[in-house]
């Protein structure tokens, strides 16, 4: 049975690259998803009311330089949602598109509970950052290190035998 947090796990896709050796498999893991949305061009009426409401479920920070609320859910500190006074919403640090959309929807529900005429719209994934690993390269390095250890171990045994014979 799938739980709510199942799709928060980073998705991994495997691709076989044609330029590489035939057995090479490149794994790409999502590291960061950046998404944006807005409230259909509506401005946030009261930043203070929204900050107070978000403080019940999120860690909230309001920098002095910009008119923005930065909210992080206490359980997911790597994921941040920024709500601008203009009504734009930006989500950074999600591990999947689904978790980004869910977190932005949570913030939109808080806004909708304060002002019924504001509805969340225009969700869009802006940027996805992947980490790529090559399985055969890791395996080859591991084999080389094992071979090196065997040679070092053999040299150590020879040195001990010579030291023992010298006594």
Instruction: Read off the pLDDT of residues 29-80 as tens digits, 9 standing for 90 and up.
Output: 888 889 998 888 888 888 888 888 888 888 888 887 878 888 888 777 778 8
Direct distance between the N- and C-terminal alpha carbons of the chain, in angstroms, rounded to an integer: 69
Looking at the chain, the whole-number percentage of residues with pLDDT higher than 90 is 3
Radius of gyration (C-alpha) of the chain in whole angstroms: 26
Lowest mean pLDDT among 9-13, 41-45, 62-66, 99-103: 9-13
pTM of the model: 0.61
CB-based contacts of 100-105 (< 8 A; 24+ apart in sequence): 100/33, 100/34, 100/35, 100/125, 101/35, 103/73, 103/76, 103/79, 104/35, 104/37
- For residue 81, is pLDDT > 80? yes
């Amino acid at each position: 049975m799938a739980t709510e947090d199942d799709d928060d796990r980073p998705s991994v896709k495997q691709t076989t690259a044609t330029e590489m050796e035939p057995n090479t498999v490149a794994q790409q893991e999502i590291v960061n998803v950046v998404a944006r949305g807005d409230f259909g061009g509506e401005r946030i009426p009261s930043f203070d009311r929204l900050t107070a409401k978000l403080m019940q479920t999120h860690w909230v920070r309001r920098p002095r330089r910009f008119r923005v609320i930065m909210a992080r859910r206490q359980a997911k500190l790597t994921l941040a949602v920024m709500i601008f006074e203009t009504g734009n919403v930006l989500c950074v640090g999600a591990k999947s598109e689904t978790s980004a959309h869910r977190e932005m929807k949570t913030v939109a529900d808080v806004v909708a509970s304060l002002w019924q005429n504001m509805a969340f719209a225009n969700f869009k994934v802006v940027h996805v950052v992947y980490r790529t690993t090559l399985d055969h390269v890791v395996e080859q390095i591991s084999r080389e290190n094992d071979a090196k250890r065997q040679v070092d171990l053999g040299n150590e045994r020879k040195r001990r035998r010579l030291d023992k014979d010298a006594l």
